[in-house]
Amino acid sequence: MKKVLARAALALLIAGFALVPDAQSQRRRTSRRTTNPSRPQPVQAPDLPDEPAVVSTADDGQPAPTRRTTRGTRQPQQQNTQAENDQLRGTVRDLSGQVEQLSGQLNQLKADQKAMFDFERLTRAEQRAEQLRTQLREVTDKEFQLQERVAEIAYESQPESIQRRAALVGTLNPSAVRDAITQQLERERVRINKQLELLATSRVRLEASVATADAEVERLRQRVEAADQAQQPPTPGAESNNIVAPAARPSPTPTPAAQPPM
């Protein structure tokens, strides 16, 4: 039986080698006649009775290894994509934290600038209030001096005072000297009264300005103190009853104008 099989296999090999030149010649003839070469058809050996047949599987495709390779490459790609996504999420979280930190710093900077601006306004308001008080004191002092001079003029305008003053002047017409002295004192009194009216108007205006400036100073001081308290961190265990409120700055009392003597 083994000898029969060996003979059959040898016969098949000889037939195959004999058919190869014929196939090549046919392939050459076909390529000369047609531009598109055709795939040679496999030649099947004649079936022998009661003989085992040898079937060639060289032309069959092998998709299974390709599928396994594709599945094997998908898993690393998915892992790389997942890692990239995780890295992007971490980067986004870091950037979000940095943005929040920068926003906090920007808000703090704005608060500091606002507090500095309020402090500068408070300083200017205090300086203006002090200047207005200085002007008010000067107007009040000037007004007091003029009122004293009005009182002196009223005393000098008396007949006895005019007579004594005219007696010091050597003249043959004492009545004319007395009249000149009286007119001079009257003109001075009228001029001083006009100045007193202007000073009184200035004093009223300055008093109102000082009151407004003091109110502005107090308002700005409260704002600055509130901003300072807001920026200070809360002390643990501190009681609200122990917080001492800042004393309010008293507004200046205007100096009463001296009334001219009657």
pLDDT (tens digit per residue) in 204-247:
999 999 999 999 999 988 888 888 787 776 555 544 444 545 54
Q: Which of 45-49, 52-56, 196-200, 221-225 has the highest mean pLDDT?
A: 196-200
- The lowest-confidence range among 4-13, 69-78, 145-154 is 69-78
Rounded to 5 degrees, what angle do the CA atoms 219, 104, 220 make? 5
* Cβ density class 168-198: b for 16+ within 10 Å, e for less: eeeeeeeeebbeebeeebeebbeebeeebee
Per-residue model confidence (pLDDT) at position 25: 57
Mean pLDDT across the chain: 75
Q: State the average pLDDT over residues 69-93.
A: 76
pTM for the model stands at 0.47
Interatomic CA distance for residues 116 and 140, integer angstroms? 36
Distance of CA 7 to the CA centre of its chain: 99
Per-residue model confidence (pLDDT) at position 252: 47
What would the two tokens of residue 157 be?
A: 């305008």
CA atoms within 13 A on the CB side of 252: 22
Digit-coded pLDDT (tens) for 161-195 = 888 888 888 777 888 888 999 999 999 999 999 99
Q: Is 27 exposed, middle or buried (0-12, 13-18, 19+ CB in 10 A)?
A: middle
With beta carbons less than 8 A apart as the criterion, state whether 42 and 56 touch. Answer: yes
**Other Cβ atoms within 10 Å of 241 Cβ, number:** 6
Interatomic CA distance for residues 204 and 180, integer angstroms? 37
Handedness of CA 70, 73, 78, 84 (dihedral sign): negative
Interatomic CA distance for residues 59 and 165, integer angstroms? 154
- pLDDT tops 90 at residue 146: yes
